[in-house]
Structure 1
Amino acid sequence: MTNDKKTKNRRQTLDDKKHMRELFKKYAETKDVHIRNELIERYIYIPEILSRKYVNKGTDYEDIFQVASMGLIFAIERFDLSRGFEFPSFATPTIIGEIKKYFRDKEWLIRVPRRIQNLSKKINVAKVDLQQQLLRTPTIEDIAKHLEITQEEVIEAMEGSYAYAPRSLDMTYRVHSDDKELSLIDMIGQADKNIEGIENKDFLDRAMDKLNEVEREVLKDRFFDLKTQSQIADKLGVSQMTVSRLEKKIIEKFKKELHK
């Protein structure tokens, strides 16, 4: 490669880095989803590469790639230009962390607190040790004394461990009064979808009452008619920055109403 080509390539690399820094700066200021999408497209190669390292572990590549892509979004949201890091160096450990967390949580079919998961593992080890020492099945009291915890904590962790291998909904239970058998699924209540719909409508009505006429128009155009911020800005005769601020204000009002 000639010196002219090397100089040209080096200049292109520097220009590219400068462009990406400007994008990160703009996104930190505006949180514009279009800028975030451009950053995702630019750096999507990172989760693609990292996901391939975790294939053949009982999970499809697409599932791992989705988790890694979420890690990329988290990294974009948390990235701070002022710290002087290059984004790939910052994003890689964040993405790997999300993938590892996914595999840890995947072992438990129902998510339980990490504290319960760790304690459950200690209890399983303690059971084996105590069985050998006592030459009998250890009691909850034995386990609690061995681990120096309360009996209530042992019971809580043992109940949580059922999440690792939940019982089948087809399992049947005999009703002693008339020898009738019922399956587990027959004894589980179901949520009333109508109630959920009523609650959602009530929340939306209360939240909409907090918006002024312009905010309602922005809400309709942005989230129902799926117009871009630029299109809404042109319609209202304001800047895109103004629409972005209105959008944030609307979301904050909804959040405030949700937490009441």
Structure 2
Amino acid sequence: MINKNYYENGNLKDKEKMNIKDLFKYYSETRDKETRDILIEKHLYIAEILSKKYANRGIEYDDIYQVACIGLIYAIDRFDIDKGYEFSSFATPTIIGEIKKYFRDKGWTIRVPRRIQELSKKINNAKVYLSQELQRSPTIEDIAEYLNSTEEEVLEAMEASKVYTPQSLDVTYDSNNDDKDINLAELIGEDDYYFSKIENNDFLMKTMEKLNDVEKQILIERYFNKKTQVNIAKSLNISQMTVSRIEKRVLEKLRKEIEKTLID
């Protein structure tokens, strides 16, 4: 229960003068809208701080701030003062979660320049206006003239706006064959497994030329024939410790060759 000193003649005194802990207790007991509004106002700074961290990432600050405020309200409604947590510690992940969700739903998939984003918005508005004004779909030339931009700028913004919403790989297109549609996934190239295999084999063969006969044999027996160090040691009539030492030396040579290849 909240402090009885806050009551006067059975009614709650000025809530603005109450401490945060008692405000939360009173709100949890009554769900009083006025108390909720006071709590929101007293904690708007949290929403503001977190919003600024996500500014200049493709979405207007005001939009982010509104989402952060919604997250703040959710946090106030869910907060339990009796659990002993600081409200700021509880509210922060809730607000950030709402902001990130908004970015996933509304944000640009790929970061594009702000001027392109702003022009893209203008183009969308121009399309609506010109469609009504001209009673037809506006051309690129119509839009460019209306916005006092070049046709190249309009085309650039329209192309960039396609990254705003990623396209599903399951989307289908009509094919020349009437019996079957083609998925977008089928039209996208993919890495050929055998190309990388050829490259790896070529690298391995060139590297093995720099190994002596014993090193080559240990490498082949260990990693191609899957033999243990003990079995290799017996076949070569050397100790298992020697095999282990040679194997480490071979792997070190391979590592250096890989590093050299990446640098080159």
Normalized against structure 2, the TM-score is what? 0.37
**Which is bigger in relative contact order (C-alpha 8 A, separation at least 6)?**
1
Q: Which has the larger radius of gyration?
A: 2
Normalized against structure 1, the TM-score is what? 0.37
